[in-house]
Homo-oligomer: A and B are copies of this chain.
Amino acid sequence: MLSFECDYNEGAHEAVLRRLIETNNEQLPGYGSDKYCDLAKEKIKEACGKADAEVFLLVGGTQTNQIVIDTVLAPYEGVVCANTGHINVHEAGAIEYSGHKVLSLPHEQGKLKADVLKKYLEIFHSDDTKAHMVYPGMVYISHPTEYGTLYSLDELTALSEVCKEYDIPLYLDGARLGYGLMSSGTDVTLKDIARLCDVFYIGGTKVGALCGEAVVFTHNNAPKGFFTSIKQHGALLAKGRVLGVQFDTLFTDDLYFNISRHAIKMADKMREVFKRKNYKFFIETVTNQIFIVLENKKMEELKKYVSFSFWEILDSDHTVVRFASSWATRESDIDKLEELL
C-alpha cells in the first residue's frame, strides 16, 4: 500500500533520532534550560538573521497557535485570518477556548490579501459602534497555506505594511515552513519572514521531527511571563531536551532545508506524473501538497492501492483529494504511483 496521505506518517529523520540516542544518557536540567535547547535557539536565530529574536520550543501546532495568539492579544482582542485558516477550521476551537474570537475574512487561494485586510481595518476603525465589537489585535497567516499556496514577497510585504500601519502584530504559522521555503516557486526566504513578521513558528512535526515547533518572536517582543504562560497552558515539557536535541539537529548543516528540498523535489515529480496522466488540478500549488479532482469511480478504484486525503466534494460525480509528499517520501513510491494511475 502506497501512502501519500499526509506529511506526518513516519517518525523522525534518522539524523534526529540518532542525536536523541547519542544524548540520551546525559543528565540535563529540565524545562528547556538544557544546552541543546540553547544551541537550537542560537542556530535558529542565526538562520533567521535576527540577533534580537527570542525563540521558544513547543510541542505541537495547535498548542503553539493557542499560546502565541492568547499571550500576544489583549483580552478584548481577536485574531484576523482568512476563513480557510487552520485556527478557524481545524483546531477544535482552541483559540476561542482561550477567550478570543477568530475574525475571519474571505480568502484567495487560501491567502489573506493585503487589500482585503486593509479594507476590513478601515471599516472597523470608522465604525461608531466598534467599542462593542471585537478589536482586531493580531493578523494570522499560514505559509504554506492550508491550500498549499505561498505568499509572494510582494504579498507578504504588503500585509506587513498594513499591519504596521494599524500597529497590529503579524503572525505566520509555519507548520510546513520548510516546504514553503524550498519551493521552486517562492521568492520568500526565512530571513524575509523574520524581518516582515512579528512572530512565526518553524514547524518541526511535519518536517523531520517526532514533534516540536519553534516559535520565533522576531524583535525581543516575547510577551511578559511567556514561560509561565506556557506552563499555564499545559504545554511545558519536563524533558525540554527532546525538543532541543531535535531542533539543534535540524538546524545543523542545513538539515531542515535539505530534507524540505527533498520533499519538494518529490512533489514536483508527482505533479509531473499527474500532468502527464492528464489529471485535473483543483488548485495550482508549488509546495508539498497537491490537490487533484478525481471522478468518484476512479477515486474508489485508486483507494485500494494508495492512500490519500479527502479534501472536499466538488460535485455529485467528482471529489477533491490531496496527495502530500514529505521529507520521508521515496522516489520509488512515486514511480509506483505513476504505474497505478
Contact = CB atoms under 8 A, between A and B. Distances in A.
Contacts of A3: 27
A3 to B, nearest CB: 4
Contact of A235 (B26, B205, B231, B234): B234
Interface residues of A, number: 78
A283 interface: no
A220 interface: no
B76 A225 contact: yes
Interface stretch (A124-132, A269-277, A294-302): A124-132
Interface in A128-155: 128-129, 131-135
A184 interface: no
A91 interface: yes
A225 B129 contact: no
A242 interface: yes
A93 B70 contact: no
A76 B27 contact: no
A115 interface: no
A96 B92 contact: no
Q: Which secondary structure dominates where chain A touches chain B?
A: loop
A59 B237 contact: yes
Contacts of A262: none
A8 B23 contact: no
Contact of A17 (B21, B29, B66): B21
29 contacts: A8-B238, A9-B30, A11-B24, A11-B242, A14-B24, A17-B24, A20-B210, A59-B211, A60-B234, A60-B238, A61-B238, A62-B231, A67-B234, A70-B75, A71-B75, A76-B228, A77-B225, A91-B231, A91-B234, A92-B134, A92-B229, A93-B100, A94-B234, A96-B96, A96-B100, A97-B99, A101-B102, A132-B236, A210-B242
